[in-house]
Structures are given as structure tokens and as C-alpha cells.
């Protein structure tokens, strides 16, 4: 069965220290490099999601802006 355009699936093995290796094709496709920080979101009913790496900075930016707005 061929996946729809732009849709991918990979597997990863969890090591003894709880670490996973992101498959090379996924790292290349999404521009993930050693030392990058990724945000993992979990939902017990739906699973784990890894949003685009820029979402981490964007989330914190929103949180700090909201706090600044409250103090003005």
C-alpha cells in the first residue's frame, strides 16, 4: 500500500537508557541535526507527537508574551 503524498511512517527502537534514534530519512526530511532540541507532546488517548522544531521557541515566546501582557 502506497502512503498518501507527504505522509510518512517510521519505526524507532527505545534503547536501555530510554533513548530513541530518529531514522535518517526523517532527520533529513525535517532538518533535524545533532544538538537540536525537540518538543514531545503526549496524549494518553492519541499518543506522542513531535511538532516542528520551531514550535518549541514559538511556544515559549507565546508564554512570555502572555505574561508580559498581564503585567502591563
Does residue 67 surpass a pLDDT of 70?
no
**What pLDDT is attached to residue 69?**
57
Position 9 in a domain: no
List, for residues 12-54, the tens digit of each pLDDT value.
Answer: 899 999 999 999 999 999 999 999 888 888 999 999 988 887 7
User: CA-CA distance, 27 to 72, in Å (whole number)?
Assistant: 42
Range of the domain at 64: 24-71
Coil, helix or strand at residue 14: strand
**What pLDDT is attached to residue 70?**
55
Q: Which of 25, 31, 33 is nearest to 3 (CA)?
A: 25
**What pLDDT is attached to residue 66?**
57
This prediction has a pTM of 0.65
Position 48 in a domain: yes
What's the structural domain count of the chain? Answer: 1
Amino acid at each position: 500500500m502506497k502512503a498518501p503524498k507527504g505522509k510518512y511512517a517510521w519505526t524507532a527502537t527505545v534503547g536501555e537508557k530510554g533513548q530513541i534514534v530518529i531514522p535518517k530519512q526523517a532527520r533529513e526530511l525535517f532538518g533535524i541535526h545533532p544538538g537540536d532540541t525537540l518538543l514531545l507532546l503526549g496524549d494518553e488517548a492519541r499518543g506522542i507527537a513531535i511538532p516542528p522544531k520551531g514550535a518549541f521557541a514559538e511556544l515559549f515566546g507565546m508564554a512570555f508574551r502572555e505574561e508580559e501582557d498581564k503585567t502591563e
